[in-house]
Structure 1
């Protein structure tokens, strides 16, 4: 399990399929609100609090998407309290929202994932092929070189369905990176600061 705070009220948690298997949870079971999934969720929240100081206070939005070979990415967002609503009312609304399932395939509070993700590539040819495949999606990207690997930063406001599709394509040739945007900008070498997909496709035709 890996936790990253991406905003004041938002964390991203990566759970590998090995993590799920160790807990006796199969890939389809995570979309159901069973006891194992509930235990996993509270373990995630405890880890988020211990590692990055993210604490649940009031209602939250939970959305997740899977990557074929990597695992599950869960984004948890704290929702601002509704003016005039009591804490009991907010808690009741939160309980109702989570009664059916903890991990929603659809966006919760926000309709778009204003987040970022980093994928790592050891083979430049794989990176070139991925860029050609993703070009029609017109997403904002930057390319860095860090620790002998090419790190592709995807920073765009995509809906959950497009995030999952883009992540699925990327995971076929690369892997989710532990590097954050701040680390790449400070310690990595900036190869292409913006419009990396377009630049690579133009310079390296298939």
Structure 2
């Protein structure tokens, strides 16, 4: 479980499928109201307070983004407390620490980060024979970020692609919108083929 502060009132938590499996949670369980998911959320909020000083009391908006191979990105935004209630209502709010508004979304994007350009090139050479086309490469926060579309991949190919990506890089929870806004586009399309052609 990795987390980062996006702003004073917003954090992003990245959960791998291993994080979920260790807690006996299947990815489909994240869509359901079950005690294990509540325990996981409490654990995430405790860790966010310890690591980032993020106080999760009051109303929270939680966005869960399911990524095909990497796991889940959970974005938690803290709202403002409304103190215009009577004393009785305020006591109820203290008991119910988290007032949640949860939205779920899925993406077909596979996003991997590479710290070293040499690792990125080695990965491209291994991956190239498997891919017909596709992929965008960005530079973001001193890392190379490769984005691939999993929508057209069969399950077996997807597993092979993820295995190769995992060998050379690490799963990233950054979205395409963030990369386009704050990152730099290095190769807009067919990134793996272009890397192999230019650096063979």
| Superposition TM-score, scaled by structure 1 size | 0.56
What's 2:78 paired with?
Answer: 78
Distance 2:69 2:112 in 1: 13
Larger-gyration structure (1/2): 2
What's 2:9 paired with?
Answer: 9
Kept in 1: contact 2:30–2:37 (CA 8 A): yes
Q: Which among 139, 150, 164 is matched to residue 144 of structure 2?
A: 150
What's 1:194 paired with?
Answer: 184
Deviates more, 1:82-91 or 1:7-16: 82-91
Structure 1 residue 22, shift from structure 2 partner: 1.2
1:2-54 deviation per Cα after TM superposition (whole angstroms, max 9, x unaligned): 11111110111111111111111111111111000000000000011111111
SS of residue in 2 equivalent to 1:195:
strand
SS of residue in 1 equivalent to 2:69:
coil
Q: How is 1:161-180 mapped onto 2 (pairs within 5 angstroms)? A: 174=165, 175-177=170-172
1:150-194 deviation per Cα after TM superposition (whole angstroms, max 9, x unaligned): 335x9xxxxxxxxxx97979x956442499xxxxxxxxxxxxx73
What's 2:54 paired with?
Answer: 54
Alignment RMSD, CA only? 4.5
Distance 1:105 1:168, change over 3 A: farther
Structure 1 position 120 matched with structure 2 position 113 = yes
Structure 1 position 129 matched with structure 2 position 134 = yes
SS of residue in 2 equivalent to 1:129:
coil
Structure 1 position 65 matched with structure 2 position 65 = yes
What's 1:109 paired with?
Answer: none
Kept in 2: contact 1:65–1:72 (CA 8 A): yes
Count of paired positions: 156
- 5+ residue gaps, structure 2, are 106-110, 115-119, 153-157, 175-182
Structure 1 residue 196, shift from structure 2 partner: 2.9
Kept in 2: contact 1:11–1:76 (CA 8 A): yes
Kept in 2: contact 1:145–1:151 (CA 8 A): no
| Superposition TM-score, scaled by structure 2 size | 0.58
Kept in 2: contact 1:67–1:168 (CA 8 A): no
What's 1:190 paired with?
Answer: none
Distance 1:96 1:41 in 2: 10
